[in-house]
Amino acid sequence: MNKFLILLMVGSISLAQPKGKKLVWEENFNGTQLNEETWNVELGNGCPSCGWGNNERQLYTYENHQLVNGKLVITAKKEGAKYSSTRITSKGKKEFQYGYFEAKAKLPIGHGVWPAFWMLGANIDSVGWPKCGEIDILEYVGKEPDIVFTSLHTQDSHGNTINTKKTKIETIEEGFHVYAIDWTRDKIDFFVDKQLVYTFNPENKTDATWPFNQPFYFLVNLAIGGNFGGPEVDDSIFPQDFSVDYIRVYQ
């Protein structure tokens, strides 16, 4: 390989990284099954907070995801009267405080799907939700085509979705797109395909307004129906796939 090509490759890698940050971790979903040193597969219907606290309809199982050609593919299904899907988390295994976080993903479509790439505070077991904080890097609901939701939940908002932005992108259902945040001790910027879509920067930062001064872990899931995704669900759309090409962390 000549020096020009090497320099070109190095330059391309440098341009791909957020300014002033280096890649510290990535998940490329290679192999044939999820890495258990990184991921937990959550199961069931969320009880005692049945419906995962949102009146969602799906049962999470081990059978609704696979790794295909370096991608995580979560498949939501309707079998008889039951809906099934997958939800994974990095809780207790991969947790990060501050940095640039991104995922490249392809959305499912249809009335009733609710895919998400998000984060929760690692102290959730001791302080509960929403005091632990929640960062929704990507949410999409099939009943609102062409719209991406970027949101945060805090104790100050009592968990309600008031710190949020709806962004209309007419081609968002076509192919893969990159969803990201740049999280510092002062603010959180949200991006879709490198374009800034929302900034959260409360002037008065207290535990109630800014729980984002501690480690958080990742969640990836495809919910069905629920308070946000439903309540109506079009059964004719299933099966539907939510595909994730990679997740990367820069610090």
Model pLDDT for residues 228-243, shown as the tens digit of each residue: 999 999 999 999 999 9
Q: How many CB atoms lie within 10 A of CB 210?
A: 21
**What is the average per-residue pLDDT within 200-210?**
95
Q: Is residue 85 a contact partner of residue 224, using CB atoms and an 8 Å limit?
A: yes
Q: What is the pLDDT of residue 156?
A: 93
* pLDDT of 190 over the 80 cut: yes
The alpha-helical segments, DSSP class H, found in 26-66 are none
| Active-site hit among 134, 170, 203, 232 | 134
Q: Lowest mean pLDDT: which of 10-14, 73-77, 123-127?
A: 10-14
Token pair, residue 235, equals 């059964």
Q: Angle 112-101-203 (CA atoms, 0-180°, nearest 5)? A: 90
Annotated catalytic residue, options 27, 56, 102, 139: 139
Active site annotation includes 134: yes
Q: What is the DSSP letter of 18?
A: P
Residue 74 burial by CB count (10 A; 0-12/13-18/19+): exposed, middle or buried?
A: buried
Q: What is the pTM of this model?
A: 0.93
**pLDDT value at residue 5:** 47
The residues near 105 (Cβ < 8 Å, ≥ 6 apart) are: 115, 117, 138, 176, 177, 179, 242, 243, 244, 245
Indicate the pLDDT class of residue 42, thresholds 50, 70 and 90: very high
Average per-residue pLDDT for the chain: 93
Res. 9 pLDDT band, cuts 50 70 90: very low
Task: Using pLDDT thresholds of 50, 70 and 90, give the confidence band for residue 12.
Answer: very low
Is residue 173 annotated as a catalytic residue, yes or no? no
Counting residues of the chain whose pLDDT is more than 70, the rounded percentage is: 93
pLDDT tens digits for range 85-133: 999 999 999 999 999 999 999 999 999 999 999 999 999 999 999 999 9
Please compute the mean of the pLDDT values over residues 149-176 and round it to a whole number. 92
